[in-house]
Structures are given as C-alpha cells and as structure tokens.
Structure 1
C-alpha cells in the first residue's frame, strides 16, 4: 500500500517551480517570431521612448495650465456666488425685519379670526376627572377615554426630535468630511501653483540677470559719456572765465597807458586817442593764440570721438563675428547630425537588404515549420 501522506520537500518543490518558470520564459522568447527573426533596434526604441516622454510632459504641462485656469475660474465663480448669496440673504433679512417691525400678524384686523392659539387661550371643558365643573348631565366624562394622550404625544415628539438631532449631527459630520476633502484638494492645487510659480520665478530671474548685465553695460557707457560731457563743460567754463578775465583785465578795457593817465591813474579823456599799434598787435596775437588753442582742443575732441566710435564699431563687429561663429557651429552640428542620420539609415537599409536578399532568400515549406514549436529544447 502506498504512503500518500509523506511530507513535501520544500527545496525540491522550489527547484521544480524555478525550472517551470524558466521554461515558460524560454518558450516566450523562442516563440516570439518578431523578436527571433527581426531583432530589436534599441536606438530607435530609445528615441521613441524619449519622444513619447516628451509628448507626455508637454501634455501634462498643457493639462496643468488648463487645471490652473479651471481653478481660477472656479474661485471667481465661488466668489460671485457667495456675493450673490450674501446680497439675497441681506435682502431677505431686511424684508423679515420690516415685516417683524411693521407687519405683525397680531396687528391685523382679522387676528381674532386667524389666531392659531385662540382655542388654547380658551378654558378647557375639563381639566381632569375630578373637575368640580363636571356633572351627570355635562357629557364630558366617558368610559374608555385616553387621558394620557398628551403625555404620549409629548414623548413621541421628544423621540422624533432626538431622531432629527441625530440626522442633523450625521449630516454635519458628512459636510465636515466633504469640506476637509475640498480643503485638501485646494491645498494640493496651491502646492502645484507654488511649484509652477517657482519655475516661472527661476525663468524670470534668468531674464532679470541678463537685463542687469545689459543695464550695467549701458550704465558704464552712459557714465563715460557723462564724464566726457562734464569735462567738456568744465573746459568750456574755464575758457569762458579766462576769456572774461582777459577781456576784463586787458589793456583794451583798462586802458592803462601812462601817457593818458594822471597821477591818480585816471584816464584823461580829452588826451586819449585810442590804442596804439603795439596794443592792437598784442590783442591780435592773443586772439590768434586763443583760436589756435581752441582749434587744437576741437581736434583733440574730434580725435577722441573718432577713437570712441572705432571702439564701439569694433565691439559691434566682434559681437557680429561671435554670433556668426555660433550660427556656423549650429549649422555644422545640424549638418553632422543629418549626415549621421543618413549613415544610420543607409546601414539600416543595407542590413534590411542583406536580410531580405541573403538570410531570408529561400522560403521554407510548410513541413519545415511543423518540426518547431513543439518544445523549448
């Protein structure tokens, strides 16, 4: 008789399961016709994966932008709804206050007919079975009456009130959970908005750094121009002051000739006949020297301006040359990339031609395929 309750060997069972799993994997690899015959172009697959990932990221950015716009519109709608609700509530409150103050029901003429408590205000027919007003002919006391009706109704009303309170509490808790979920959703959206703002801030900082560098360069140029203008104004002021001083203290105005001045250095008008030839020659010589000095200064300023213009033109040309070099490097890179793609396409085409013309040249018969796919060994 066979023993059927022998213990299971765990290691042997694990080895069997492992061999079975390897056999299944081997069968999946062997029976995959596309993988076995064509192979895998890992470069093309990687490019496809990168392109798909780029499209996913682009779609995600687009969806995030739409989500942010939807959240902003939802917030605006909520604010408008809250404002409309507040206005309606305020209007209703004012209407109720007016009615409570100036349109009270008890002030109407028909209040004695419409008073809901008019029967409550009347004295009851009897208060109890021992009411002394009851007599044999009153017809107010009968057998089988339910005198505990009011107490029972009051107890039922209390039960109903407790049930309503419980429902109100459950509803309040549910609303609280919904508000908490909405708050968590708003916090998540705020976090996404902060992340988007952080990326936007980084981009703005990059632009700001470029603008600061450009502004510093322009400030340096403006400062140099301002210094040059100030120096020019200073020279002009000094020249004007010197010209005024020369004119004020020259012999032409002071007329310091001794032949026409008295002991107190006063010019005798009746004896002064005008300036002498030497004085006129001296004035002319000073004018010519001033003209030469001014011409020399103008030539120096013109030379400085030409030098500065050449320096600016050289900087502009250097910038254009750098841009042309960058554009040329970009064109070379694109040309090299295009050539590389052409070479890869050519290699792929040659490989495909080799497979079509050499490897898969002869088509096997049906009997050839019947000997395969029977086992993995």
Structure 2
C-alpha cells in the first residue's frame, strides 16, 4: 500500500553525518583532560597563524600595487607640469609679439614726453605772480622770490616807522600813568599811617579804662568771696556742733535695744543697729539647745535599735539562702544522674540502629561500572 523502502535524502544524510562528526570532535576536545584543563587548541592556533600569514601577504601585495600606482601618478604629474610650462612659454611669446606689433612708441598717448621739440612748444617762463598760464601745480613761484622787492621794502620801512612812533607814545603815557599812581600811593600810605596812629591812641585809652574797671571788679569779687567763705565756715561750725549733739543723744551710742527691732518682721533685727543679745535671750537659746540634745540622744538610741533589728533579719535571710543553695545542689546532682542514664540508653539504641542499617539495609555497594556511566556525553 505505501512504499517504505524509499532511499534516504542525501542532503539530510550529509547534514546528519556532519553533525555526528562535529559531536565526535567536540567530545574528543571536551573529554580530553589536558585540553579541557589547559585550554590549548593547536589546530586552531595553526589555522590562526595561517590566516595571519595570508593577511600579511595580502597587505604586502596591496602595498606593492599602491606603490606601482603612485609611480605612474608621478610620471603623469611630471608630464602635466611640462605641458603647462610649454603652454605658458607659448603664451608669453604671443604676448611679446603682440606688444612688438601693436604697441609701438608712435602709437602711444605719452609720445609728448619723448618729443624732441617739446621745449620749443612750451610757454615762456612767468613774468609776474599773476600769470594765468601758471596755476598752483605749475611750480613757477617759490618761497623767497619777489618781483616787487623795492616796493615791499618801502612799505616795510614806513610800517616800521609807524610802529616805532606808536611805541614811543605808549612809553610816555606809561611813565605818566606810573607817576600818577605813585603819587596816589604815597598819599594813601600817609592817610593810613595817620589813621593807624589815631587808632593806637584810642586803643590805649580803651585799654586803660578796661584795666581800671577790671581792678575794681576784682576787688569787689575778693570781698564777696571772703564774705561767702566766712558765712560757709560759720554754717559748717554750727552743723558740726549739731551733729555732735545728735550723736551723743542718739540710739547708736546709747545702745537702745528697741532700735534694732525690724518694723516689718518683729522676729528679726536690723544688723546695722543690733548690739547683741540680752541675757534673757541667751538663756532661752541655751534651754532650746538642751532640749535638742535630749531629742538627738533619743533619736540615736532608736536608730541603734533599728540597726540591730536589721542585722538580725539579715542573718536570718543569709541562713535561709544557704539552705536553698544546698537544696539546689542536691537537685542538680540528681538531675545529672538521671541525664547520664538517659544518654546511655540513647547511645545503646543508636548503636543498635546503626548495626541494623549496616547489616541489613546498606548491603548493595556501588561497583566500577556505576562510576563509568558518568562523563560519557558532552551535553
């Protein structure tokens, strides 16, 4: 019904065979301990060396080809340079020929510069400064040249004479003005001297009047000061006498005990007025001190009784604690004995179980074939 004896596909068979070969190669590489541990693949290294050599050979061939091309380019560049130089030379030759044929001297607009009859055609030199043919750029009039020198000299002499006469008049007028000013200055100085003498006399009279008035005022002030000092001394003496009387009759010297009472707090005294305690006050203080001593003695006896009671109670507590410690030690010893017997029983049971496992359960020991089944594939 179905044809089952079909031939295998050659491509598929080739692919399967290639995979098998790769797997075998991979297994041989992985299962080799030295290769796996050291990581050295000699064939791969050799192939890399061959590839490197091939690459270097390719690079050298490229460099050689590049050198050949460069030489060719240099030759072409030299040829182009020679051609450019030849073209430039031909162009320069044509330009020179054009100049010789088309740009002659007779055809130039600057021919008058080389005209041999130029001097005959020029205008004559100027005769005066107002020559219409000579402009500013003709350079026909220079500094120091003067065609009307005599006229100019005459005019300069007249001007000099006029200036001299004017200067003489100005000097005479200046001398007159100076004399007038000097006379006025002398008159002013004389008037100022007279005024200064009058002011000096007036100042002297004023000074004398001021000195007399000041002397009278000083005398009056001296008398007034003496009277004031006398009254002050008298008042001071009266005040001193009054103070002495007050001190003699004061509570400070009479030592009045009522003065030391504080008006705000009757149980307190004023320190600056207090002269000491009275005998009644001292007796009251001693009485209070005696009562305090008795009270202190009773308190001390009570404290001693309390301390003795506390000591007896501490002794009782110490004895009770010692008894509790003895009981605890006995309980611990009993517990250790029970724990030792329990551990011995547990050790016996564990030993019996171990013997049972070794003699009955764990009897199938692994053989060498069991270990050889590992590490047989690269996956």
Structure possessing the higher radius of gyration over alpha carbons: 2
State whether TM-score is above 0.5. no
TM-score (ref. length: structure 1): 0.28
TM-score, scaled to structure 2: 0.28
